[in-house]
């Protein structure tokens, strides 16, 4: 196939797989009721409080750093495709861009954003 | 076989166009293509499950499953039937919509990536002009499903598992992305067919010394993205019971399981296509006789053979090394692999401009 309909098809097939599997599972599986059954499984200990709460900020820092480098990757991919045509001048321009980014990484490193505390 | 397959598809197409109206023909073909993808996806997952169980058994000096069918190969069918007959436990305190959407998003992300691959000469779903970029983009959809699964379960283990998984996958995504960029620089295109054509004389790993660096970085990053092996922090059994899918039971857990194995295949297949020549045979420029012998082997055997080698490497690592701590994991990515991959891009560009 030459066109992009494949993505719609695959999307629908994922839906078919999940819905079909769930329906077959619901039809075949046994059902039973129990007062304790719907509780969270936390190694058999009664749950204390909710799990929807504030969480460690370290993950947030990683996400921010990821965002910086991911956008950089998006910007660099078009350059990578036409790099042979641009030659040395394109390389100098991009190296300047990369140096600025590496300085950013060095700053985060120096400030301890990459340490896990 | 790939040519015979294309012939067969063309025969079906002429048969349909002769008998039915054009709109119905395309509809029927869409359904056939979709079912073909789904079957291949499920078969690969089933094969990899039994493959991994046998391999890990041999690594641990066990026999592995050996009762159901010859060498236990039907064990995986029996397991599949069993998981369908297990109760889907209704939870009381979770977010129902997100909880049931999570397996769908995980499966969808992995199937979309699967649809962008090439399986043999001329056998692919779509020939996208930004093929490599597309594969990188959609392969990270699954992580949204994982985060939703962990968050919506309202369970502390799930939450910690999902957060770890998020941090790990997005971190290693960068290195995978940058190592692919080195190949795009060398190949001069993001289209998979163009990259395949560029690898006809020699696979990319034989074209430049920096491709080896990129390959090693990609293999580590891809292994970490599947949440397996020494990087299995998100589902570390000994501390988080099962991580983000603690609260999933029956077939809803099965979806995560299938997606995990298919992601193993998908990552190995992307590595094969981009670094190891995909379905191209091993060619040595100048050795006509050798090239002719290699060309006699069909392209789908090359593709799946090389993919299987990478999968075996991944299993080997998984069953050999102990688990990393999260600070060691982030140290590996941000302080070792990321600087190396950035340097690799620059060196590759300099090499392509001045030495090629």
The secondary element (H helix, E strand) that includes residue B124 is strand B123-124
Q: Is B119 helix (H, G, I), strand (E, B) or coil?
A: strand
Report the alpha-carbon distance of residue A3 to residue B127 in Å, rounded.
8
Q: Which residues of A touch B184 (CB under 8 A)?
A: 77, 80-81
Contact B233, B164 (CB under 8 A): yes
Contacts of residue B23, defined as CB under 8 A and 6 or more positions apart, other chains included, come to none
pLDDT category of residue A105 using cuts at 50, 70 and 90: confident
Over residues B296-309, mean pLDDT: 86
pLDDT category of residue A1 using cuts at 50, 70 and 90: very low
Residue B249 in contact with partner chain A when CB distance is under 8 A: no
> Worst-scoring range by mean pLDDT, A46-60, B2-16, B40-54?
B2-16
Longest Cα separation, chain A: 71
Q: Is B71 left (phi over 0), alpha (psi -120 to 50) or beta?
A: left
Residue B97 in contact with partner chain A when CB distance is under 8 A: no
Look at residue B3 and tell me whether its pLDDT is greater than 70. Answer: no
Cβ–Cβ below 8 Å for B89 and A91: no
Cβ–Cβ below 8 Å for B353 and A109: no
Cβ–Cβ below 8 Å for A18 and B107: yes
Q: Which residues of A touch B335 (CB under 8 A)?
A: 109, 114
Q: Which residue has the higher pLDDT, B13 or B117?
A: B117
Cβ–Cβ below 8 Å for B156 and A42: yes
Tell me the nearest-neighbour CA distance from B63 into chain A, angstroms: 31
The closest CB to that of B250, out of A25, A52, A56, belongs to A25
Closest residue in A to B28 (Cα) is A9
Closest residue in B to A4 (Cα) is B126
The pLDDT of residue B311 = 92
Look at residue B307 and tell me whether its pLDDT is greater than 70. Answer: yes
Contact A14, B114 (CB under 8 A): no
pLDDT category of residue A3 using cuts at 50, 70 and 90: low
Report the alpha-carbon distance of residue A102 to residue B90 in Å, rounded.
49
Tell me the nearest-neighbour CA distance from B294 into chain A, angstroms: 28
Report the alpha-carbon distance of residue B168 to residue B175 in Å, rounded.
11
- Between CA B180 and CA B191, with CA B185 as vertex, the angle to 5 degrees is 70
Tokens of B1: 């076989």
Nearest to B234 by CA among B176, B163, B170, B175: B163
Which of B81, B89, B113, B117 to probe the A interface (max A CBs under 10 A)?
B89
Nearest to B9 by CA among B116, B134, B120, B128: B120
Mean residue pLDDT of chain B comes to: 84
The pLDDT of residue B217 = 92
Cβ–Cβ below 8 Å for A6 and B33: yes
Cβ–Cβ below 8 Å for A24 and B111: no
Residue B186 in contact with partner chain A when CB distance is under 8 A: no
Contacts of residue B174, defined as CB under 8 A and 6 or more positions apart, other chains included, come to A66, A69, A70, A73, B221, B333, B338, B341
Q: What confidence tens digit (pLDDT) does each residue in B57-98 have?
A: 888 888 888 888 788 888 888 888 888 888 888 788 888 888
C-alpha dihedral sign at B44, B198, B338, A76: negative
Report the alpha-carbon distance of residue B247 to residue B249 in Å, rounded.
6
Report the alpha-carbon distance of residue B196 to residue B274 in Å, rounded.
8
Rg (CA), chain A: 25
Look at residue B288 and tell me whether its pLDDT is greater than 50. Answer: yes
Instruction: Evaluate if pTM is beyond 0.80.
Output: yes
Contact B183, B279 (CB under 8 A): no
Cβ–Cβ below 8 Å for A50 and B163: no
C-alpha dihedral sign at B94, B97, B100, B102: negative
Tokens of B62: 């066990």
Q: B188: buried, middle or exposed (CB in 10 Å: 19+, 13-18, 0-12)?
A: middle
Look at residue B291 and tell me whether its pLDDT is greater than 60. Answer: yes
The pLDDT of residue B265 = 92
Which of A11, A14, A30, A64 to probe the B interface (max B CBs under 10 A)?
A14
- Between CA A59 and CA A34, with CA B247 as vertex, the angle to 5 degrees is 145
Strands B118-120, B123-124: pairing kind = antiparallel
Nearest to B343 by CA among B199, B217, B155, B184: B217
Residue positions counted in chain A = 117
Cβ–Cβ below 8 Å for A4 and B126: yes
Tell me the nearest-neighbour CA distance from A27 into chain B, angstroms: 8
Q: What is the percent of chain B with per-residue pLDDT over 70, rounded to a whole number? A: 98
- Between CA B155 and CA B112, with CA B83 as vertex, the angle to 5 degrees is 75
Q: What confidence tens digit (pLDDT) does each residue in B189-225 have?
A: 888 888 888 888 888 888 888 888 899 999 999 888 8
Report the alpha-carbon distance of residue B147 to residue B165 in Å, rounded.
8
The closest CB to that of A9, out of B33, B83, B353, belongs to B33
Report the alpha-carbon distance of residue B294 to residue A45 in Å, rounded.
61
Q: Which residues of A touch B331 (CB under 8 A)?
A: 114, 116
Closest residue in A to B163 (Cα) is A59
Across B38-48, b (16+ Cβ under 10 Å) vs e yields beebeebbbeb
Report the alpha-carbon distance of residue A81 to residue B330 in Å, rounded.
30
Report the alpha-carbon distance of residue B112 to residue B105 in Å, rounded.
10
Give ipTM to 2 decimals: 0.86
Q: Which residue do the tokens 């999933």 mark?
A: B248
Over residues B135-163, mean pLDDT: 87
């Amino acid at each position: 196939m030459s066109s992009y309909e494949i993505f719609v098809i695959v999307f629908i097939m994922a839906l078919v797989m999940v819905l079909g599997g769930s329906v077959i599972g619901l039809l075949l599986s046994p059902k039973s009721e129990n007062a304790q059954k719907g509780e969270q499984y936390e190694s058999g200990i009664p749950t204390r409080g909710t799990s929807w709460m504030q969480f460690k900020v370290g993950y947030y820092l990683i996400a921010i750093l990821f965002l910086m480098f991911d956008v950089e990757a998006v910007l660099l991919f078009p350059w990578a495709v036409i790099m042979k045509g641009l030659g040395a001048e394109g390389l100098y321009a991009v190296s300047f861009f990369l140096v600025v980014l590496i300085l950013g990484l060095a700053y985060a490193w120096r400030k301890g954003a990459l340490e896990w505390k | 076989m790939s040519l015979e397959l294309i012939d067969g598809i063309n025969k079906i197409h002429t048969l349909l166009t002769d008998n039915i109206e054009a709109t119905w023909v395309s509809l029927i073909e869409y359904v056939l293509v979709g079912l073909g993808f789904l079957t291949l996806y499920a078969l690969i997952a089933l094969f990899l499950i039994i493959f991994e169980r046998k391999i890990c058994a041999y690594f641990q000096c066990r026999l592995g499953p050996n009762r159901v069918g010859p060498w236990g190969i039907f064990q995986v069918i029996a397991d599949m039937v069993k998981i369908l007959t297990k109760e889907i436990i209704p939870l009381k305190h979770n977010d129902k919509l997100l909880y049931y959407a999570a397996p769908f998003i995980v499966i969808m992300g992995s199937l979309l990536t699967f649809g962008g691959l090439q399986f043999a000469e001329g056998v692919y779903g779509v020939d996208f002009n930004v093929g490599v970029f597309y594969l990188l983009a959609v392969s990270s959809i699954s992580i949204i499903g994982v985060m939703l699964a962990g968050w919506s379960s309202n369970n502390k283990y799930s939450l910690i598992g999902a957060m770890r998984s998020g941090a790990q996958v997005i971190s290693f995504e960068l290195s995978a992305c940058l190592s692919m960029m080195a190949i795009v620089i060398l190949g001069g295109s993001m289209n998979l067919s163009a990259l395949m054509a560029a690898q006809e004389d020699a696979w990319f790993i034989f074209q430049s010394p920096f491709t080896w660096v990129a390959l090693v970085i990609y293999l580590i990053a891809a292994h970490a993205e599947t949440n397996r092996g020494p990087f299995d922090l998100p589902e570390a059994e000994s501390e988080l019971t099962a991580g983000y899918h603690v609260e999933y039971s029956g077939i809803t857990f099965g979806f995560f399981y299938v997606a995990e194995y298919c992601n193993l295949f998908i990552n190995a297949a992307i590595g094969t296509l981009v670094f190891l020549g995909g379905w191209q045979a091993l060619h040595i420029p100048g050795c006509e006789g050798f090239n002719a012998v290699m060309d006699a082997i069909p392209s789908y055997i090359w593709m799946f053979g090389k993919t299987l080698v990478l999968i075996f490497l991944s299993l080997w690592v998984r069953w050999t090394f102990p688990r990393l701590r999260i600070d060691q994991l982030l140290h590996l990515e941000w302080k070792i692999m990321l600087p190396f991959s950035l340097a690799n891009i620059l060196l590759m560009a300099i090499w392509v401009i001045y030495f090629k």
